[in-house]
Amino acid sequence: MIREPKNQSSADRAQFERVEEVFNSSAGTLSERIDGFPKFASRQSIGKFLARYEIFKKILHVNGSIVECGVLHGAGLLTFAKLSSLFEPSNHVRKVIGFDTFEGFPTIHEKDTKGGDSSHFSVGGLTGSAMDDVANAVALYDLNRPIAHIPKVELVKGDLCETAPRYLEENPHLVVSLLYLDVDLYEPTAVALRTFVPRMPRGAVIVFDELNAKMFPGETRAVDEVLGLKNLKIERFPFDSYVSYCVL
Ligand SMILES: C[S@@+](CC[C@H](N)C(=O)[O-])C[C@H]1O[C@@H](n2cnc3c(N)ncnc32)[C@H](O)[C@@H]1O
């Protein structure tokens, strides 16, 4: 979930504005300050980080790759990659696969705008980092990763409605242990569910980043149409507003 300006209080905005100043004037090398991230990161982003950690622990003993739909700047993707390296350094079979246009929303369906009130609804909305930028972060992570000669992270660029079915076609071995749905929109969420859920064994986890979020009703509609909300036990964490999940 990216910050929705309408949801920020003036105190939130003041904090987001001040953080740059505090970070720039703090002691320590850039690398030391980055490693000291809790000093600067917002309470909300630490909550999101912990949610990802809790989710990862649930799939640690489930075979299958991690598929993230919606990469933005790569925070989630690199969190899962680093958690995998920390907790299962010899598991070179589990890949972390990120799907994104790397150019923001490619299209928006009327099931997104009807009832939705996000200020990001436009083609190119929610554009994050360029793919090369995320690839540089992956190369940085690879520098001291165990079994670094076998690639861990894959970036798949383009509209997921086309790239996801093609990826499966080209990778018939794929088993998915974690499907992280974070494209915010109806169509790519529906396609991701139709493509990847049949590849998920029992115990695998689907994460929803915008379920029950008024801004982006498309995700709820896609989940209801493809899986049926009443068929799922959907749980959440008390320390993050958006993340919810179901264990298959
Ligand atoms: C909320 S952001 C993802 C946040 C990310 N998971 C994180 O860890 O910060 C949503 C992303 O979905 C991508 N996206 C939306 N629709 C897409 C589509 N049809 N195909 C591929 N990417 C899409 C956008 O480009 C954007 O980067």
Q: CA 188 to CA 219: how far, in whole Å? A: 9
**How many angstroms is it from 224 CA to the middle of ligand 1?**
20
**Nearest CA, atom 8, ligand 1:** 76
Q: Token pair for residue 80?
A: 């899962």
Q: What is the pLDDT, as a whole number, of residue 17?
A: 85
Q: Token pair for residue 71?
A: 């990469």
**How many angstroms is it from 155 CA to the middle of ligand 1?**
12
**Nearest CA, atom 13, ligand 1:** 70
Q: What is the pLDDT, as a whole number, of residue 3?
A: 67
Cα–Cα nearest to 189, from 95, 72, 75, 111: 111
46-247 is a CATH 3.40.50.150 domain: yes
Q: CA 206 to CA 200: how far, in whole Å? A: 9
207 by Cβ neighbours in 10 Å (0-12 / 13-18 / 19+) ranks as: buried
Q: Token pair for residue 196?
A: 């990847």
**How many angstroms is it from 49 CA to the middle of ligand 1?**
17
Run of H or E including 236:
strand 235-236
Assess whether the C-beta atom of 74 lies below 6 angstroms from ligand 1. no
Run of H or E including 56:
helix 43-59
Give pLDDT tens digits for 37-72.
Answer: 999 999 999 999 999 999 999 999 999 999 999 999
Cα–Cα nearest to 76, from 153, 173, 159, 167: 153
What average pLDDT does the segment 2-18 reach?
79
Give pLDDT tens digits for 207-243.
Answer: 999 999 999 999 999 999 999 999 999 999 999 999 9
Q: Which atom of ligand 1 is nearest the CA belonging to 104?
A: 25
- Letter for the amino acid at 4? E
Q: Which atom of ligand 1 is nearest the CA belonging to 180?
A: 6
- Is-contact 134 102, C-beta < 8 A? yes
Model confidence pTM above 0.85? yes
**How many angstroms is it from 25 CA to the middle of ligand 1?**
32
Q: Token pair for residue 145?
A: 């990763």
Question: What are the distances in angstroms from CA 194 to CA 63, 92, 121, 151?
Answer: 20, 26, 24, 26
- Is-contact 134 155, C-beta < 8 A? yes
Give pLDDT tens digits for 105-121.
Answer: 999 999 999 988 888 88
Indicate where the chain has its CATH 3.40.50.150 domain(s): 46-247
Q: Which atom of ligand 1 is nearest the CA belonging to 126?
A: 26
